[in-house]
Every structure is written in structure tokens, then in C-alpha cells.
């Protein structure tokens, strides 16, 4: 009897092992059959079973890995993330053909599970179709109403700089971290447009909130985020940095809801003070319409998009700007000399002076090129089958515009890997902007806040150079390494901001 029982147990164990081996074999064969590249599909590196190419790139410098892969597989190549395919576009000509000439076919965003878990397809950055068109139209027209792209916004930015000036003067030339101060000064511009008021630099709650944005954007581009997008049902139940991304921006949404609550308590439909007021009126006007898409959850999602995108990218660029000026003091001195000659040190800068500051403009544009803060832009998705470089890209494929390959294109820039303002100057020293300067991407999904960012960068950077000389603390060398994420941010550093008036 014992012998029979033992034989039975052995058979059961072998049956279980056989079943598991069969399941594994079946999954591998199915994965191989379902995920073969067709002859007309862009080539790419071999993919591992189940996970695809998640581990084929260095997620601490994904943009560099993707640029290197283009040298082997061409300017249009493919990667597989889990069970989903994506196509990476490299080089100015390819990006122009895809995003501009065939822009209608790349006007959607992919439904990335990590982002969808946060936005649910709402807002203005990650929405699609009718939802996106209506919210983009409303957002642009409303922000223009409050000065976006107009001279009327200039005093708001310059007034905010006076607050920043006072804050920096408190340090009296001693080392300090510029991170939160610059985040605050930039965030206050979008806050003025969206919330109708600014936040003091002493507001610890606000400082903590905006200080987390960079961490959240790093989480968004991590390997954990890729795994979440590949296997959302599993990853939603597992801890990791992808959960930190959701926590940070859910906290931000709660902050926005508090602002919304305060607005509703004293809201007057006849007095439109800011973006939230205008959106509330839009909700009221659409209450009787069956297809109305304007509601409070969409309002929160739109404000989140504006709040994060309108603060983090510009503040990160300015942090790079200060670091580069400390790294290249001879360039900083030349910028200051030009500003002194054209504007002086007592008169406020203005946008109209830009034409008379060619070297300053060249330096500012080189800062944007060299810092490359949005290296892979925001992904697109094909709305129909397209042909590109002889390859067929089907409908529904995620497309990554590799801006690094353009801003560092060896056939577009004289010294692409050096900080060289000469890239934006002609032989007579006049400012020129090459076509390959695409820090805001291109096409129908081009950065919504480009005009605001340009105005902020020029006015803030020129004002900083007019009033301060930036240098590293004694014995410290500038470090130009970055943290990779949805944006490229410099490592934390301390700087000395010496008031220039002391040197007169």
C-alpha cells in the first residue's frame, strides 16, 4: 500500500512539474509568435521574452541609450515594452516629417497605465480626441485672456523677480541651494494665472509641494514606471517608486481641490479673476448640454497639467542656467557686459530689449539646447497607419520623439557636445536660430506654454545676470551630471549669488 501511495505521489509531483513546464513553454512560444517584427516594421534590438526591451536601455540615461541605438538600427527603430511596441524617432529630418508633415497622424497620446491611473484620460496633456481639442482651445484662449504671450504679463513676471531679488539678497553672497527659490519664483507665475495669487517663499507647505515635482518626474521615467505600464494589474499591487509618482501628484490634486473649494466660496460668474473662475463659468454654461465635457474633475486635471508643466520645466532650465554661468564665468561676464551696455543696472529689463542683446539671447538658447530638459518629449501615438523612412507604422503605436538626437545632432551643430553660444550667432555677431532648435518639440502637440516659457526665461535670466554674479563656493567645482526623468535636472548644488552693485 505504501509503495502504491509513493508511486502515486511521485506521478502527481511529475504531473505538476510537467504542467508548469508546459505553461512556461506555451507562454514563451505564444510571446514569440505574437511579437515578431514584420518585415515592413522598423527594426530594433532583440527583445527578451515577456518583458521585451525594458532592460535593453539604461534607465538612468534612457535618452543616451536610445540615441546610441539609432547608430545601429537607424533613425526609425522599434522597441518592445512588455507586450506593447513603440517606435523611436531620431534626427531633425525624421522628426519634422513625422510631427509636422504627418502631424495629423500623430496627434494622440498613448494611454500609458501609470499616467491613466492618475489622470483617467482627463486634462490637456494626456487627453485625446474631442476632449483634448476642446480643452486645448479653452486653455489657450483663457490664458491669453490673462496675458499669455502678451506684453501685459511682463509686469507680473518682473514683479515676481523683485520678490526673488529680496530673497537672494538675504544670503549676502554666501552659499545656498537655489532649487526651492527658483521653483517658487517660476511657479508663482502660473499660480497667478491659474489661482489668481502667488505664494510666499516662506510658505513651507507650498515649498514642499513644488519640491516634490522633480522626484515625481524622475519616477515617471524609471524602470518601475515601465514595468507598471507593461503589467499594470500586477504593479498596482506592488510597492515601489511608481507608487511614489502617484502619491506625489495625488497630493498635488488635493492641493488644487483646496484652491477650487476656496474659489467656489466667493465665486462671481461676472468677475473672472483667473483660469479656475473661467473654467467654473464654462461648467455652468454647459450644464444643460448632454455632451458637456467640462466638469470639476477635468478642471483639477487641467490645473495639474498647467501647474506641473508650467513650473518644473522652466525652473529646471533656470537652475541649469545658473550652474552654467558658474561653470563658464567668461561667458557670464560677457552677458553682463552686454546687459550693462544696453540696459544698465538700474533699469528693468523688458522683452523689447531682446533684439539688442544678441549674445544674451544666444547664451539663453544654448542653455536650452545643452540642458536638453525634455530629452524624449512627451510620447505620441499613431491615429492611423503611416509610412516613415520606408517603414510601415500601424495605427495605435506609441512614438517617442528623441529630442536629444536633434539638439545634439552632429550634422546640425558645430560643436554639439560643448557649451557654445556661437551656435546661435552669425559671422557678424547677430542672433540666429537654427531650425534644429526644438526644445519645445513640434507639431500639433507642441508645448502649450511655449510663449510663457520663452518670456519667463528671458526676463528671469536677464534679470539674474543684471543683478548677480554667480559662482561656486570656495573649493567646489561645478558638476554637470543630471538626474534622468521626464525632465533632465541637475544634481543638487549650492551657489553664491554676489550682488553686482557691490562691485560698482
Enumerate helices (H) and strands (E) in the chain, giving the number of each: 18, 10
Integer Cα distance of 99 and 152 in angstroms: 32
Instruction: Confirm whether pTM is higher than 0.85.
Output: yes
Integer Cα distance of 94 and 388 in angstroms: 8
**CB count in 10 Å sphere of residue 151:** 11
pLDDT band at 504 (very low <50, low <70, confident <90, very high): very low
Integer Cα distance of 214 and 61 in angstroms: 16
For the chain, the average pLDDT equals: 90
Integer Cα distance of 223 and 242 in angstroms: 9
The stretch 262-266 carries a mean pLDDT of 90
Is the model more confident about 310 or about 325? 325
The stretch 29-39 carries a mean pLDDT of 63
What does the pLDDT look like over 227-245, one tens digit per residue? 999 889 999 999 999 999 9
The stretch 362-382 carries a mean pLDDT of 96
Integer Cα distance of 423 and 412 in angstroms: 10
Integer Cα distance of 206 and 224 in angstroms: 27
Please report the pLDDT score of residue 163 as a whole number.
Answer: 95
Please report the pLDDT score of residue 148 as a whole number.
Answer: 78
What does the pLDDT look like over 374-425, one tens digit per residue? 999 999 999 999 999 999 999 999 999 999 999 999 999 999 999 999 999 9
Percentage, residues of the chain above pLDDT 70: 92
What does the pLDDT look like over 44-71, one tens digit per residue? 999 888 788 888 889 899 999 999 999 9
346: closest CA among 463, 470, 469, 186?
Answer: 463
Please report the pLDDT score of residue 503 as a whole number.
Answer: 46
Integer Cα distance of 458 and 108 in angstroms: 31
Q: In the structure grid, which three cell numbers stand for residue 455, read together? A: 518670456
410: closest CA among 393, 423, 396?
Answer: 423
Q: At which residue does the C-alpha cell 509513493 appear? A: 6
Q: In the structure grid, which three cell numbers stand for residue 415, read together? A: 560643436
Instruction: Assign 349 to helix, strand or coil.
Output: coil
For residue 329, give every residue at least 6 positions away whose Cβ sits within 8 Å of its Cβ, in sequence order, or none: 471
Q: For the CA atoms of 152, 158, 162, 167, what is the dihedral angle to 10 degrees? A: 120
Integer Cα distance of 434 and 96 in angstroms: 14
372: closest CA among 433, 416, 317?
Answer: 317
Looking at domain 35-503, its CATH class is mainly alpha
Amino acid at each position: 500500500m505504501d509503495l502504491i501511495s509513493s508511486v502515486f505521489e511521485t506521478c502527481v509531483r511529475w504531473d505538476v512539474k510537467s504542467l508548469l513546464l508546459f505553461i512556461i513553454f506555451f507562454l514563451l512560444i505564444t510571446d514569440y509568435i505574437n511579437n515578431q517584427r514584420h518585415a515592413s516594421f522598423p527594426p530594433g534590438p532583440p527583445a527578451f521574452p515577456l518583458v521585451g526591451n525594458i532592460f535593453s536601455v539604461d534607465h538612468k540615461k534612457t535618452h543616451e541609450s536610445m540615441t546610441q541605438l539609432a547608430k545601429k538600427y537607424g533613425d526609425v527603430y522599434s522597441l518592445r515594452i512588455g507586450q506593447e511596441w513603440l517606435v523611436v524617432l531620431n534626427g531633425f529630418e525624421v522628426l519634422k516629417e513625422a510631427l509636422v508633415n504627418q502631424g495629423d497622424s500623430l496627434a494622440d497620446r498613448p494611454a500609458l497605465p501609470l499616467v491613466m491611473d492618475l489622470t483617467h484620460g482627463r486634462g490637456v496633456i494626456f487627453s485625446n480626441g474631442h476632449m483634448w481639442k476642446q480643452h486645448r482651445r479653452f486653455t489657450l484662449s483663457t490664458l491669453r485672456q490673462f496675458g499669455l504671450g502678451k506684453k501685459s504679463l511682463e509686469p507680473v513676471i518682473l514683479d515676481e523677480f523683485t520678490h526673488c531679488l529680496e530673497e537672494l539678497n538675504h544670503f549676502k553672497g554666501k552659499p545656498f541651494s537655489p532649487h526651492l527659490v527658483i521653483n517658487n519664483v517660476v511657479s508663482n507665475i502660473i499660480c497667478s494665472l491659474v489661482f489668481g495669487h502667488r505664494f510666499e517663499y516662506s510658505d513651507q507647505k507650498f515649498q514642499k509641494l513644488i519640491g516634490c515635482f522633480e522626484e515625481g518626474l524622475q519616477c515617471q521615467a524609471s524602470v518601475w514606471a515601465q514595468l507598471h505600464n507593461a503589467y499594470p494589474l500586477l504593479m498596482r499591487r506592488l510597492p515601489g517608486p511608481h507608487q511614489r509618482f502617484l502619491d506625489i501628484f495625488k497630493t498635488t490634486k488635493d492641493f488644487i481641490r483646496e484652491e477650487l473649494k476656496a474659489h467656489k466660496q466667493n465665486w462671481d460668474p461676472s468677475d473672472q479673476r483667473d483660469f479656475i473662475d473661467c473654467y467654473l463659468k464654462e461648467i455652468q454654461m454647459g450644464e444643460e448640454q448632454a455632451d458637456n465635457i467640462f466638469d470639476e474633475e477635468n478642471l483639477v486635471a487641467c490645473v495639474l497639467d498647467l501647474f506641473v508643466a508650467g513650473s518644473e520645466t522652466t525652473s529646471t532650465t533656470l537652475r541649469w542656467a545658473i550652474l552654467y554661468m558658474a561653470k563658464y564665468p567668461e561667458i557670464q561676464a560677457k552677458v553682463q557686459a552686454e546687459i550693462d551696455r544696453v540696459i544698465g543696472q538700474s533699469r528693468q529689463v523688458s522683452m523689447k530689449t531682446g533684439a539688442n542683446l544678441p549674445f544674451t539671447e544666444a547664451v539663453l538658447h544654448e542653455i536650452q539646447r545643452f540642458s536638453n530638459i525634455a530629452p524624449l518629449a512627451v510620447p505620441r501615438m499613431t491615429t492611423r497607419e503611416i509610412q516613415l523612412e520606408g517603414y510601415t507604422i500601424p495605427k495605435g503605436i506609441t512614438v517617442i520623439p528623441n529630442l536629444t538626437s536633434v539638439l545634439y545632432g552632429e550634422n546640425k551643430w558645430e560643436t554639439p557636445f560643448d557649451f557654445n553660444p556661437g551656435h546661435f550667432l552669425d559671422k557678424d555677431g547677430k542672433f540666429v536660430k537654427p531650425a534644429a532648435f526644438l526644445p519645445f518639440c513640434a507639431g500639433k502637440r507642441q508645448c502649450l506654454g511655449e510663449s510663457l516659457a520663452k518670456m519667463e526665461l528671458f526676463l528671469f535670466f536677464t534679470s539674474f545676470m543684471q543683478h548677480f554674479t554667480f559662482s561656486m563656493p570656495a573649493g567646489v567645482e561645478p558638476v554637470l551630471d543630471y538626474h534622468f526623468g521626464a525632465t533632465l535636472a541637475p544634481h543638487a548644488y549650492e551657489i553664491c549669488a554676489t550682488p553686482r552693485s557691490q562691485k560698482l
